[in-house]
Amino acid sequence: MRKYTDLHLKAYQNGELKSELIRKAKILGYKRVAIPTDEACTEKDMEKLRKLCQDTGLEFVSRIDLTPTNTKELLNSLRRLRRRYEIIAVNCQSKNIARQAAKDRRIDLLSFPPDPRKRFFDKAEAELASKSLPALEIDMTQIITLSGKPRIQLLSKIREELELAEKFQIPVVISSGANHPLLLRGPREYIAIAESLLDLEREKAQDAISKTPNNIIERNREKLSPNFVAPGIKIMRRGRNCQEESAEDTY
């Protein structure tokens, strides 16, 4: 059984729609949802979201979407926020931001606007991302809400991006990006859309909405653990002095 995960459920600032959107995610078969918040969100607010999800039967994952205007702003935000959120996504609004985000191992998701002219995931960025950890995020709401020529152009661009992602072995994540219950679809519907419109093989489409996002979550939760020392190394026992502490290589 696959554990379907939506890494981009926009349920934070939806007021009365928040609970309805979360409930629908549960009904549609999701097990985990990442809800993007902003820096103004307090720990108390985060716990309310977590409890709302738990009461509905969903596992809550914290996420923040960064939309920096320059690379300095991006780096400052990463230093300040990396250890607060389980998922960090960057909205790449310029080529410079896209390049910097692609090569920074602290970033989990590379996101792009629906305008094909502003999607900067090209060969150069793919090469950078292949040496780092970011995954390419495909927001399905962008596809669902467009029609006519804009939709055709977006689909063509995403297909090109997916070909580059496969060539450079970059993970792909399929998310909803839904901010209203009427825009949210079930994981199997997204898999069918990815197969039919994006030419993505079925198993890869399934992984993009289950295995890949779950791997990102588990990786980051391990890093955010107080026992984390370095990749593959964690503290197994704590004592009163350094001699009583021990660390074990998990490989």
Domain count, the chain: 1
- Per-residue CA distances from 107 to 10, 26, 48, 77, 183 (Å): 19, 27, 25, 11, 27
The predicted model gives 137-165 an average pLDDT of 97
Q: State the residue for tokens 């977590």.
A: 50
CB neighbours of residue 81 within 10 Å: 14
Closest CA to 198 of 208, 185, 184: 208
- Over residues 135-139, the mean pLDDT reads 98
Q: Decide which of 33 and 133 is more confident.
A: 33
**pLDDT-based confidence at 238, cuts 50/70/90?**
low
pLDDT above 90 for 248: no
Percentage above 70 pLDDT, the chain? 90
Expressed as residue numbers, the domain containing 138 is 5-249
Nearest to 17 by CA among 177, 183, 179, 139: 179
Which of these, 32, 28, 9, lies nearest to 217 by C-alpha position?
Answer: 32
**Run of H or E including 149:** helix 148-167
72: domain CATH number is 3.20.20.140
Contact 89, 137 (CB under 8 A): yes
User: What is the value of pTM for the model shown?
Assistant: 0.88
Residue 69 pLDDT class (50, 70, 90 cuts): very high
Q: Residue 175: pLDDT above 70?
A: yes
If pLDDT is split at 50, 70 and 90, which confidence band does 247 have?
very low
Phi and psi of 123, rounded to 5°?
-60, -45
pLDDT at position 63, please?
Answer: 97
Contact 36, 8 (CB under 8 A): yes
- What is the helix (H) or strand (E) element at residue 235, kind and residue range? strand 233-237
CB 74 within 8 A of CB 66: yes
Q: What is the mean pLDDT of residues 25-49?
A: 95
Q: What is the pairing mode between strands 233-237 and 246-249?
A: antiparallel
Query: In the predicted model, what is the mean pLDDT of the chain?
Result: 91
pLDDT higher than 70, residue 251: no
Instruction: Report the pLDDT value the prediction gives residue 226, as an integer from 0 to 100.
Output: 65
Burial of 200 (0-12, 13-18, 19+ CB in 10 A): buried
